[in-house]
Structure 1
Amino acid sequence: MRRRTVLILLVLLAVFLGWLSQAKYHHSPPAALRKKAHYLEQISNGTSAGAQDLTKLRELNPEWALFSLSFSVYALTNMAERDPNFRAEAALYIETAIQKALSSEISAFSRTAASPVARLDTAGSVLYLGHLNLMLGCHRLLNPTSRYTGLHDTLSRVLHGRYQRTPSHCLPSYPGLTWVPDNTVALASLSLHSQLTGSPYRQYCAQWVAYARQHLTDSKTGLLVSRPSTPQHGAEEPRGSMLSWSICFLYRFAPIFAAEQYCLYQNDFSTNLGVVQLYKEWPGSFATTSGDVDSGPLILGYGIPATAFAFGNAVALRDWRNAQRLRRVISIGSREIEMTDELKYGVRLVDLPVSPLAEALLLHAETMTPWR
């Protein structure tokens, strides 16, 4: 009798887990998304305790402060595309974020040695300029009379000209240091400019994809390398955090290539446990280490950024079952903290704050949608 009971329980558990593995992701209700957006807006305009968190992020790593602003903008644009009634409000939030991104506190890390502090250094980091230009495009998408149309046109023209002059098809993030993911952001910004104005820059994006298939992919896996080969450094093999990031922005200007990379990435880097799916930073590695600034801590080779960005990939490419498995992973380690007009995340089981960057990345991932 006891054995039969245990057997029945095991069968029921198997059925339950099988049902969970087939469940599909559903977007959060608009009211919850609005509360998350309001929290991020408070961060950018400096009227909440979260603004102090942004300052702390900048002191730790200026890139993280920029990403907190830029991914907030992308998330707000996603939301506005899904809910036209939110467009005007989102445009106001985005303008505040752009003003913050243009401040010397955020832009200082991107400048070349000879650039004047008071002016935008268009010869500087593609990491900074790519995100800034995409933010400008988002504002123009939601507000065609944007005050930043002139800057958007100028920066797009400069970036396009720089790309046409570089043999590697990739611009540096820092002197002597070039990463493919940072370039996918800049290329997405050029594609959006073409979409909004009819400029020819989208043609270069198509040329870049053709070049990438031949010269920027790993010969064994077909996946994008993390760094191209340049006179300063050799190519670096594909890695999870950078692939997940790149696919999010390839989706904006090369959706077919993004889908191809997503399938290869899923096959080579992920482990499907039915109820959840996890992504590795390095294929075949089961090391538990502190990782680096890009990967974060690795547990048996699995990385938080790789898995979190893959959630955005799955939502963008409408892989709803995988999106739900990945959302479940995020839910295991986080909890929602709801207030009257804000909703943010906390760490489950312990009272630790979640940074504005994590808030922005998650909202961006869960709202991925085409920008029309």
Structure 2
Amino acid sequence: MTACCLIVAGRFLLPQPGAGDIPGSTERQLSFLRAALDDGADTAAQQQFPEGHLFSNALYGLAWVQAAHAEPGLRPQAVRESRWALARLESEEGRAVFSPKLQPAHGIFWAGWTNWLRGAILSLDSSDSAQVQRFSEHSQEIAQAFAASDTPFLQAYRGQAWPVDSTVAIASLRLHDKLFGARHSAVIERWSEQARTRLDPATGLLPHQVSAVDGSTASGSRATSQTVIHRFLPDIDPEFAASQYSLYRDQFLTYPAGFGPALREYPHGVDGNGDVDSGPLIAGISLSATVVAQGAARVNGDDALARALAAEGELLGLPIDLPGSKRYAFGLFPIGDAFVAWSSTARPLVAEPPSATYDLRWWWRLPWLTVLALTALAPWTGQITAATRGVVRRGTRAAKG
């Protein structure tokens, strides 16, 4: 037990990569994910929640793209693997739960993530003219859907809309304009202006869920959607992103019982139940949001928080790091590994990373290290007690003599 605690403490104290770098284990983690996907992990994830198949493949492909931007030597493999992931998103299975009758086709969730992944691939290699054409066509379809809508938040499913999904889609239009010339700037600016007028009145942040009719708040801000929104907002509107990220950090970042940092699912002062998105809540903490928050911190220039969350992942994520693969939670939930890989390699694909300074408790490691130290000493309690008593006896005898 003592040896295990020392090993875990060593991993916890290791310096974590900054925003421009990626973990040294990224290739091994992606190797595990590819094997899991080949074994049907995406189909299994679909049984757990409605977007399991899409997220499993999209995040795998995006993690490869992000890794290749940091390590150019990975580019050929990244292009090959991310194209493979894109094909799975566009397969019959990948589109099965999304309605082709929505605008854009299959809804803004499927359209946005698919378009973002395609654009991300083209940011590495734009030599495939057919993919360039499809990116242009799909971007135009998304732009037309936003232009024809009275609300900035389009439907993901019939009669249901979440602002986070539209945020991803608008980011894909911004990526298109960066790669192939400004074409959708008017739609993007209109979206940003409309979004600012439909903030959750309780938090000043984009809501979790809205009315599909007029975009009014149906469910207040929550961390599971906020952490994803803040992955994409800096690429859309850096000024708006900076103000939103500061509010998000103030209202969701917490240190339960002195431990942390971690992300509450609901803002401070608000209690609620977990669901399929957040997973079970522990003292109000969403583990899924805390994992994804690492990526949000990286793209918003919050280097201290990103490193802290990465270190906590090495402490609490039960990583198994082998020569050819790395997995968390014993590899039981590959979709969780996909979120970790996407978050730990996060980087903006449109804008420059912002220069910002955010506070983090300087002593945040101490509670974790205290628990590790007590656990490491626990097996030796008997020996320590016996040795202490022996010292006391000898001291008593010496005093009498």
Report the TM-score range of the alignment, normalised by the length of the smaller protein.
0.7 to 0.9
Contact map agreement 1:286 1:302 (CA 8 A) in 2: no
Match of 2:32 in 1: 39
Matched, 1:26 2:4: no
Q: Distance in 2 between matches of 1:110 and 1:130?
A: 12
Aligned to 2:223: 240
Mean Cα displacement is larger for which, 317-326 or 299-308?
Answer: 317-326
Q: What's the counterpart of residue 276 of structure 1?
A: 260
2: CA distance, partners of 1:319 / 1:366: 13
CA contact (8 A) 2:115 2:169 kept: yes
CA contact (8 A) 2:17 2:23 kept: no
Please state if 1:53 is matched with 2:41: yes
* Aligned counterpart, 1:103: 91
Residue pairs, 1:200-215, within 5 angstroms: 200-215=183-198
Residues 84 and 328 of structure 1, relative CA distance in 2, 3 Å threshold: closer
Note the C-alpha offset of 1:370: 2.6
The Cα offsets for residues 52-111 of structure 1, whole Å up to 9 and x where unpaired, read as 222211233341110111111221111111111111110000111011111111111112
Q: Which of 231, 234, 244 is the matching residue for 2:213?
A: 231
1:67 corresponds in structure 2 to 55
Report if aligned partners of 1:287, 1:299 keep a CA contact under 8 Å in 2. Answer: no
Q: Would the alpha carbon gap of residues 360 and 202 (structure 1) be closer, same or farther in structure 2, given more than 3 Å must change?
A: farther
Give the corresponding residue for 1:294: 277
Give the SS at the match of 1:111: coil
Conserved 8 A contact 2:105-2:111: no
Note if contact 2:16-2:311 (Cα within 8 Å) is conserved in structure 1.
no
Pair 172,255 (structure 1): closer, same or farther in 2 beyond 3 Å:
same
Q: Is the 8 A contact 2:261 2:308 kept in 1?
A: yes
1:80 lines up with 2:68 in the alignment: yes
Structure 1 residue 162, shift from structure 2 partner? 0.5
Per-residue deviation at 1:221? 2.4
Q: Which has the larger radius of gyration?
A: 2
Between stretches 74-83 and 220-229, larger displacement belongs to 220-229
Aligned AA (1:32): S
Q: Aligned-pair distance for 1:185?
A: 0.9
> 1 CA distance for matches of 2:186 and 2:16?
34
* Correspondent of 1:366 among 306, 327, 344: 344
CA–CA separation in structure 2 for the residues paired with 1:218 and 1:334: 33
CA contact (8 A) 1:136 1:148 kept: yes
Q: CA deviation at 1:207?
A: 2.3
Question: Residues of 1 paired with 2:277 and 2:50: CA distance?
Answer: 14
CA contact (8 A) 1:285 1:300 kept: no
RMSD: 2.7
Does the CA-based 8 Å contact 2:174-2:188 persist in structure 1?
A: yes
- DSSP-derived class of the 1:173 partner: strand
1:187, distance to aligned residue in structure 2 (A): 0.9
CA contact (8 A) 2:327 2:337 kept: yes
1:31 offset after TM fit, Å? 4.4
CA distance in 2, matches of 1:98, 1:172: 22
Partners in 1 of 2:265 and 2:60 — Cα distance? 25
**Aligned to 2:311, which of 328, 340, 345?**
328
Q: Cα gap change, 1:230/1:30 in structure 2, threshold over 3 Å: closer, same or farther?
A: closer
Indicate conservation of the 8 Å contact 1:81/1:371, yes or no: no
* Aligned counterparts of 1:315 and 1:60: Cα–Cα separation in 2: 28
Partner deviation per Cα, 1:5-58 (whole Å, 9 max, x = no partner): xxxxxxxxxxxxxxx99x9742576642121222233344x2xxxx32222112
Whole-angstrom distance in 1 between the partners of 2:208 and 2:15? 31
Find the aligned partners of 1:231 and 1:171 in 2 and give their Cα distance: 9
Normalising by the residue count of structure 1, what TM-score does the alignment of the two structures yield? 0.82
Aligned match of 1:319 in 302, 306, 324?
302
Partner of 2:389: none
The verdict on how the C-alpha distance between 1:327 and 1:232 changes in structure 2, with shifts beyond 3 A counting, is: same
Query: Within 5 Å, which residues of 2 pair with 1:111-126?
Result: 111-112=99-100, 122-126=104-108
TM superposition shift of 1:275: 6.1
